[in-house]
Amino acid sequence: MDNRTILQGFEWYLPADGKHWQRLTGLAEELHKKGISGVWLPPAYKGANGLEDVGYAPYDLYDLGEFEQKGTIPTKYGTKKEYLECIKALKEVGMEVYGDIVFDHFMGADEEENVSAIKYRSDNRNVALSGEEEISAWTKFTFPGRHHKYNDYSWTWKNFSGVDFDDRRQDHGIFNFDGKGWDEEVDNENGNYDYLMGCNLDMEYPETVDQLNKWGQWYQELTDVDGYRLDAVKHIQFNYFVDWLLNRRKEKGKDLFVVGEYWNGELEKLTNYIDSSGALISLFDVPLHYHFYEAANSDGRYDMRNIFEETLAKERSEWAVTFVDNHDTQKGQSLESWVDGWFKVHAYALILLRKAGTPVVFWGDLFGIPSQGVDAVGKDLELLLKIREQLAYGSEMDYFDDPNVVGWIRTGTFDREKSGYAVVMTNAQAGEKNMTISAVHAGKIFVDILGNNEAKVTLDETGGGIFPVNGGEVSVYVNEEIVEKLSRRIDGLAM
């Protein structure tokens, strides 16, 4: 797919009105016209918190908003029927759809069970705080509201390796079930980060693996999604998804786009996961996000030459999924690291207008976050999306030779009319860059389509020119002849 561009189709604080699938269905054509080629949908199954559940506290994987469970039939986003209609509408206009899969834990069990367990330190899960003791754990999932439709399996403590609450003693500790242990090939934060929350799925227990595979087969056939976003992969045995994904790919009959959330800023850990998971899973470029966050909060002191250092975009570009912000980094969330507005367009230019990685645009940046008083980024982001779709082709050359003023070019290609451009940005004072786009563009006039700088740059016989940028801003210089065309498209007019 040329210049795949993904929309994260939700944010954390969407209204719990059960209407989001309908909202997305109505937006399908508009999203495609904006330059979006794929949409990552939020988890669609019933969560422990019912209508208020964002989707990351999974209760019943088979309830996609169909059964009266947890006080509601629809999920936060709507009903099963509306979910399937949404997927169909997005695919019909030419976009791919990616399902969000949470296989780390279940929450909201129906019954308690008595089980022998060992308590561990929360900050070092390799250090036991007790011997074996019987606890009362909420670990039995019978899904009474579903009445065994689609699947009649009941989940018990045997499917899990631990919990974080002993109801008998009202103890909020971390308990590992007798004889289970923690999976070893997981992130080593807190000694061993197998356990995250809720009832921790035991990927060493054959019935757990079998049931998750059965659900995957059911879900893939039902939805025909084109790929997956995998939640919390650093807490799950690193090689677990290999067989699961190979099975889904076989059922689909073609490759799937798969991205995992391994939240860690250390490049080495991310590359190790890519290798350990059979190179089937791309990862979100968390180090790059943190570079954006640091640059946005450094008052111009960040060295822009280093923006891609120690990132997946630089080291494993084919497996890098780049992003500026997401539902976890927005204000009020556990991983809050919101990229300030002044640097937002810089950051989007750095992921949308470059060859490396697959960029994800956040719903909150495209449409705003009304509950938090956060406005949409606006026309600049929409222009960047159209530039990526229509002009971001050809070879790339970097001019990252100044601590504040950096730039790069794309040469364009013959088969893409007037493609190619020059980008120059600064996180401090105004400046300029002498850059060569391509001799193909010799004599052409290039202007800043973002309108931040009024310069008209006539390229010399080599396709080179001097491209200025105002203090703290970004300029994207494109062939003057294409500007009106793109701008009219953004304004909703025919090209």
The question of whether 52 is a catalytic residue gets the answer no
Please state, in angstroms and rounded to a whole number, the distance separating the CA atoms of residues 426 and 403. 9
30: left (phi over 0), alpha (psi -120 to 50) or beta: alpha
Q: What are the E-state strand segments in 92-172?
A: 96-101, 105-106, 111-120, 133-140, 160-163
Please name which of 470, 468, 366, 465 lies closest in space to residue 420, comparing C-alpha atoms. 465
Q: Which tokens in the block code for residue 296? A: 């946005």
Q: Which tokens in the block code for residue 237? A: 């045995």
Please state, in angstroms and rounded to a whole number, the distance separating the CA atoms of residues 326 and 190. 24
Q: Are 390 and 416 in contact (CB under 8 A)?
A: yes
The question of whether 261 is a catalytic residue gets the answer yes
Please state, in angstroms and rounded to a whole number, the distance separating the CA atoms of residues 119 and 130. 5
Strand, coil or helix: 97: strand
Given 11, 231, 380, 389, the catalytic residue: 231
Strand, coil or helix: 152: coil
Given 261, 389, 432, 473, the catalytic residue: 261
Q: Which DSSP symbol is given to 312?
A: H
Q: At what angle do helices 206-223 and 80-92 cross, to 10 degrees?
A: 60
Q: Are 304 and 292 in contact (CB under 8 A)?
A: no
- Catalytic residues, by residue number, are 231, 261
